[in-house]
Amino acid sequence: LDGKGDPRVGLTGASYGGAVSLLAAGHDERVDAIAPVITYWNLADALFPDGVFKKLWAGIFITTGGGCERFEKQLCEMYERVAVSGKPDAEAVKLLTERSPSAVADRIKVPSLLLQGQSDSLFPLGQADAMQKAISANGAPVSVDWISGGHDGGDSETNRVEGRVGDWFDRYLKEDTGTATGPAFRVTRTGGVDSTDGAALLRGASSDTYPGLRSGGRDIALGGGTKTFRNPAGSVPPAISAVPGVGGGLAQLSSLGVGLSLDFPGQFGRFESKPLDTSVRVTGTPTVTVNVKADGDRDAVLFGKVYDVSPDGRQQVLPHQLVAPYRIT
């Protein structure tokens, strides 16, 4: 006990459980340490990135939760409204933001181990990046660990993750100063294939400081000139990168240098760099700058992808099968 009625408490959990850990730390001063796993910081940002509705993921939330009537009435009404319009309104954003850990950001002041998945189109790395910035600004110790898997599948690194969470709680709950809590930042990378069973071999890279998603970097020029493309009627057939619920296999394939990504002619613009003279290891979020013009007065939604192309140009891989949505207004 830390005092009468004040037990020493640590919380960990994945997805919803991770959000509960964060919210508890923001609402209850008895919480002493947390280790949220593959979770969200701001649910509005996660489900409406740049104003684009993740309708498949939202639909999975509702159906696996037992139907809309099992949710809070306001949430059910919001989902039905946004599902019909295809675009979040201000009230929808406000509703989800108010129910997110980010709403109590200034009150989360406990040691936090943030484990976020790289194979995750639901709660991507940007959610943990925002957590790190907010919690560390409060003066609390924070470590960030980007694991291989995520909501889209892949290797969840269960033994390593559980071991690190245990060490974190030993240090900050048991106050065992002899327990190492690991680096401030760690990222798992694929280091080849096991010849005995074909499984991806994982290795880690670490740093004493958290680099964020966009620190450092290298500028690479893209060529290709002006591209013109159209959205097909009814958005059919669609380009395919990953499908919630079955994306895990695709993400695992991409980690092995193989993947599935369908881009139909006339529906995309492609810009390529010249072959690079040295290998490039991307850690964080690559960015690209393009000028876009849409015909008509309606919003347009685009999805950006960065492919890793083999030296001979014959093979291209979409890392973790992830894309970035943009709403052009």
pTM of the model: 0.89
Domain total of the chain: 1
**Statement: residue 21 has pLDDT above 90:** yes
171 located within any domain? yes
Distance separating alpha carbons of residues 63 and 84, to the nearest angstrom? 16
pLDDT mean over 77-88: 93
Q: Is residue 92 part of a domain?
A: yes
pLDDT band at 101 (very low <50, low <70, confident <90, very high): very high
Q: What is the CATH number of the domain that holds 29?
A: 3.40.50.1820
Q: Identify the residue with better confidence: 254 or 105.
A: 105
What would the 3-class secondary structure string for the chain be?
CCECCECCEEEEEECHHHHHHHHHHHHCCCEEEEEEECCCCCHHHHHCHHHCCCHHHHHHHHHHCCCHHHCCHHHHHHHHHHHHHCCCCHHHHHHHHHCCHHHHHHHCCCCEEEEEECCCCCCCHHHHHHHHHHHHHCCCCEEEEEECCECCECCCCHHHHHHHHHHHHHHHCCCCCCCCCCCCEEEEEEEEECCCCCCEEEEEEEECCCCCCCCCCCCCCCECCCCCCCCCHHHCCCCECCCCCCHHHHHHHHHCCCCCCECCCCCCCCCECCCCCCCCCCCCCCCCCCCCCCCCCCCEEEEECCCEECCCCCCEECHHHCCEEEEEC
pLDDT: which is higher, 234 or 292: 292
From CA 37, how far away is CA 13, in angstroms rounded?
A: 6
pLDDT tens across 215-230, in order? Answer: 877 889 999 899 988 8
* Model pLDDT, residue 15: 95
> What pLDDT score was predicted for residue 193?
63
User: Is residue 39 in a domain?
Assistant: yes
Please give the pLDDT value at position 205: 93
Domain assignment present for residue 24? The answer is: yes
Domain presence at residue 138: yes
| Lowest-confidence pick of 26-40, 43-57, 103-117, 313-327 | 313-327
Q: Using one digit for the tens of pLDDT, what is the confidence trace for 124-152?
A: 999 999 999 999 999 999 999 999 999 98
Of the spans 168-177, 255-264, 300-309, which averages the highest pLDDT?
A: 168-177
pLDDT(236) > 60: yes
Q: Is 124 domain-assigned? A: yes
The pLDDT-based confidence of 208 (bands split at 50, 70, 90) is: very high
Question: Residue 248: inside a domain, yes or no?
Answer: no
Inside any domain, residue 301? no
Q: Which domain holds residue 142?
A: 9-207
Amino acid 84: pLDDT: 93
Residue 31 has pLDDT above 70, yes or no: yes
